[in-house]
Amino acid sequence: MIRLSLAEVAQLTGGELTGGADGTAVVTGGVTLDSRTVAAGDLFVAFTGERVDGHDFLGAAAAAGAVGALTTRPGDALPCVVVPDTVAALGRLAAGVHERLAGGQGLITLGITGSSGKTSTKDLLGQVLAAAGPTVSPPGSFNNDIGLPLTVLSADETTRYLVLEMGARGRGHIARLCRVAPPRIGVVLNVGSAHLGEFGSPEGIAQAKGELVEALPADGTAVLNADDPRVLGMATRTRARVMTTGRGPDAEVRAAGVSLDDSARARFTLVVPGEEHPVALQVVGEHQVANALSAAGAALAAGMPAADVAAALSAAGSRSRWRMEVERRPDGVTVVNDAYNANPESMRAALAALTQLPGTRRIAVLGAMAELGPDASVEHERLGRDAAAAGIDLVMAVGTDAVGIADGATAAGGRAGEESVHVPDRAAARELLGTLLRPGDVVLVKASRSYGLELLAADLLRDGAGRDDDRDEGIA
């Protein structure tokens, strides 16, 4: 973060420095919410969560070297900037810092939104831009009212590119994030059914995601995925120049001659007006072509030469956990951990990648997809049908909420108990897989985050390593 005095923190957040605190003390480190990760010179932000109140840890933060804290009530252990709401204050602090940075040495801020693939694209774009200049783009999914300001606050005067993931659970959310850090380049990936329950309809999702392009300035660029009609439809909602990306022939930035290597990694020719360059992705799954094209469009809009973009895309690896992590056990079973999250589109993308990976049998171990609203049971059944139809050898549905997946697979002809099976929980899945798995099998593990199936993937890898250190997390 840039250096800020506590008086400046108070001024930017509209907070009040508590009695006797030294306003000239300077925050020289970063901003942190967890007293256990506080380093000398940091600003500690005290959140009041359901189970933990950050205000109880002011002493620990002080002992670890924090300069001050942002709080909702004064404390004795540290100089406090007191505000009514620490989340809102964090946003204001980030907005103030962003304004200084954007007004200075020409920081370029890039925002990414979409129903699926935001983190994957952010990770590709972050690695591509890092080849052109100092870039802030932390691993993980920092896309909300807390994560986005924290990302902004990790930039400083040396930062040239700031890559921000923007998520939405309702209307107005992305507009609010764009007020914290107004982007010059905005990327919209797709409009799917993530959080459909909260938005009501795909049109509602498109309305919300399009807030990103509405926030762009006239000299900015909206990078739109032309393969998704709802995304292309956002072209009329922006003052910025529109750059289209996609697989279709009309996109300005497109992929020609897409093929997959024997590890399901895509190769293609990146075609931009007047130039063509070969790309060989390191990340797994054909869905990464769309993400790579979106990242390429954004990097080109930021002024990077196409040849450099293609080279950097080809060197970019996977940086965030539990997204298409392909690992082979010593016994020859391959485990694909894509358990970070799930919705109908990302499930299909992962199943497609599963069918493209080499192996003798393909097994999909799937938990439920959360937050789909009234269509949830239909969507689960449809997923099971599609999985069976795609030639998955065994569809294993895990947990009560996922029973529709097994039903769908059975309805599509997957023999119950052999090609489609329902198990009550993670432990049962692990046990059954322990008896079933053979060398050459490829096992995809995927569900919505709340079902914790990444732990099953980890267990399967441990089982294959011939060790068992039996932990007992109790998530079904």
Site residues (CB under 5 A) for Mg ion? Answer: 118-119, 141
Note whether 433 and 443 are within 8 A (CB). Answer: yes
458: buried, middle or exposed (CB in 10 Å: 19+, 13-18, 0-12)? middle
- Using DSSP's 3-state secondary structure scheme, residue 109 falls into strand
Among ligand ATP, Mg ion, none, what binds residue 35 when CB lies within 5 to 8 Å by partner kind? none
Q: Which does 112 bind (CB under 5 to 8 A by kind): Mg ion, ligand ATP, none?
A: none
List, in sequence order, every residue forming a beta bridge with 279; answer none if it has no partner. 268
Q: Are 126 and 137 in contact (CB under 8 A)?
A: yes
413 token code pair: 């002809």
> Quick one: 18 or 119, whose CB is closer to Mg ion?
119
Q: Toward ligand ATP, which CB reaches closer, 93 or 398?
A: 398
In the complex, the smallest distance separating the C-beta of residue 165 from ligand ATP, rounded to whole angstroms, is: 6
Closest separation between CB of residue 411 and Mg ion, Å? 32
Shortest distance, position 245 Cβ to Mg ion, whole Å: 19
Which of Mg ion, ligand ATP, none interacts with 345 (beta carbon under 5 to 8 A by kind)? ligand ATP
Residue 353: CB minimum distance to ligand ATP, A: 8
Tell me whether residue 48 or residue 207 sits nearer to ligand ATP (CB atom): 207
* Residue, CB closest to Mg ion: 141
- For residue 101, the partner it binds in ligand ATP, Mg ion, none, with Cβ less than 5 to 8 A by kind, is none
Question: What is the contact surface with ligand ATP in residues (CB under 6 A)?
Answer: 116-120, 141, 143, 167, 189-190, 194, 287, 290-291, 323-324, 338, 340-341, 345-346, 349-350
- As measured in angstroms, the least distance from the Cβ of 168 to ligand ATP is 9
Identify the three-state secondary structure at position 30.
Answer: coil
Closer of 223 and 357 to Mg ion (Cβ): 223
Query: What is the b/e burial string over 48-60, where b = at least 16 CB atoms within 10 angstroms of the residue's CB?
Result: eeeeeebbebbeb
What number of other Cβ atoms are within 10 A of residue 239's Cβ? 13
Q: Which one, 70 or 283, has the nearer CB to Mg ion?
A: 283
Of 127 and 143, nearer to ligand ATP (C-beta) is 143
Provide the minimum distance between the beta carbon of 375 and ligand ATP in the complex, in angstroms, as a whole number: 18
Cβ nearer to ligand ATP, comparing 93 with 166: 166
- Shortest spacing between CB 119 and Mg ion, in angstroms: 3
> Is residue 135 within 8 Å of 161, Cβ to Cβ?
yes
Residue whose C-alpha is closest to residue 81's, from 144, 124, 18: 18
Q: Which is nearer to Mg ion, 118 or 380 (CB)?
A: 118
Classify burial at 107, counting beta carbons within 10 Å of its beta carbon; exposed 0-12, middle 13-18, buried 19 or more.
buried
Which of Mg ion, ligand ATP, none does residue 238 bind to, with CB < 5 to 8 Å depending on kind?
Answer: none
Least separation in angstroms between residue 189's CB and ligand ATP is 6
Picked from ligand ATP, Mg ion, none, the partner binding residue 290 (CB below 5 to 8 A depending on kind) is ligand ATP
Partner whose binding site includes residue 323, from Mg ion, ligand ATP, none (CB under 5 to 8 Å by kind): ligand ATP
Contact of residue 341 among Mg ion, ligand ATP, none (CB under 5-8 Å per partner type): ligand ATP
d(CA 83, CA 14): 7
Euclidean distance between CA atoms 128 and 413, whole angstroms: 44
Structure tokens at 227: 């393969």
Count of C-beta atoms within a 10 Å radius of residue 259: 10
Q: Compute the least distance from the CB of residue 141 to Mg ion, in Å.
A: 3
Q: Which residue's CB is nearer to Mg ion, number 119 or number 159?
A: 119
183-193 as b/e: b if 16+ CB within 10 A: bbbbbbbbbbb
In whole angstroms, how far apart are CA 471 and each of 287, 368, 468?
34, 23, 9
